[in-house]
Amino acid sequence: MSDTKQSLNRREFFSYLTVGWVMFSAACAGLAAMAFRFSYPNVNFDPEMEFLAGAPTDYASGVDERYKNAFGVWMVKSEGKLVALSNICTHLGCIPTWLPAELKFKCPCHGSGYYMSGINFEGPAPRPLERYKVSLQPDGKIKVDKTKVFRQEKGEWDNPDAYLNV
């Protein structure tokens, strides 16, 4: 008869197993969290969501492309209203170009066309361009807030935050 020397009894085995399992799960969870974090960029080159767009007197009547490349916004002044128009096509998210001779925005991807007001009239775009919240700061500068959008088909363009009276 061999003297089987048990170095580990059942209770100890389960306590080791528990510790090991918790550590394994924690390591997996940490790895998963790192992988999730890795899927987000370290540096974000997206345009800022809020910016100052000068004073209302800076704008002549019509479409102003000053903030288009940096922030993706057209400042459009017409009929006494100044609005911040998104430059993202409502069809599939391309960037339309402003054609001053024809007074329209034209998308290079599928040919959607918009009037200066942002209303869609040609091509496949299903709805008008979106407008962003504009507000006047105490120092007289315009603040454009891209986190708040106003959609014409939902009747939001009449919202007092959607335009500035100039």
Partner 1 sequence: MLKELINKIADPLYSFPITTFLFYLMMRYYRIFGSKKFGKWALILSVPVIIWFLADPNFILIILFPDNVPIAILLVMVAFFTWFSLHKAAENDVRIEQGLGPIEATPENREKVWSWPNLVYTELFAIIACTAFLVVWAIIFKAPLEEPANPTWAPNPAKAPWYFLGLQEMLVYFDPWMAGVVLPGLVVAGLIAIPYIDTNPKGNGYYCFQDRKWAIISFLYGWLVLWVYLIIVGVFFRGPNWTFYGPFEYWSLYKIVPEYNINLSEYLWIKGLGVAMPKNLILRESLGIILTILYVGVIPVWAQKATKMGRQFYKDLGSIRYYIFMFLFVTMMSLPIKMVLRWLFSLKYIVALPEWELNL
Instruction: Give the residues lining the site for partner 1 (CB under 8 A).
Output: 45-47, 68-72, 87, 90-92, 94-97, 101-102, 106-111, 113, 121-124, 126-127, 153-154
Shorter beta-carbon distance to partner 1: residue 104 or 141? 104
User: Which pair of tokens denotes residue 64?
Assistant: 């102003």
Gyration radius of the chain's alpha carbons:
28
DSSP class of residue 68? Answer: H
Taking the complex as a whole, the smallest distance from the CB of residue 101 to partner 1 amounts, in Å, to: 7
Taking the complex as a whole, the smallest distance from the CB of residue 46 to partner 1 amounts, in Å, to: 6
Shorter beta-carbon distance to partner 1: residue 27 or 99? 99
Q: What is the DSSP string of 10-44?
A: HHHHHHHHHHHHHHHHHHHHHHHHHHHHHTS-SS-
Rounded CA separation 110/125 (Å): 9
Paired sense of beta strands 120-122 and 62-64, if any: unpaired
Shorter beta-carbon distance to partner 1: residue 155 or 160? 155
Shorter beta-carbon distance to partner 1: residue 28 or 103? 103
DSSP class of residue 123? Answer: T
Taking the complex as a whole, the smallest distance from the CB of residue 34 to partner 1 amounts, in Å, to: 27
Taking the complex as a whole, the smallest distance from the CB of residue 70 to partner 1 amounts, in Å, to: 7
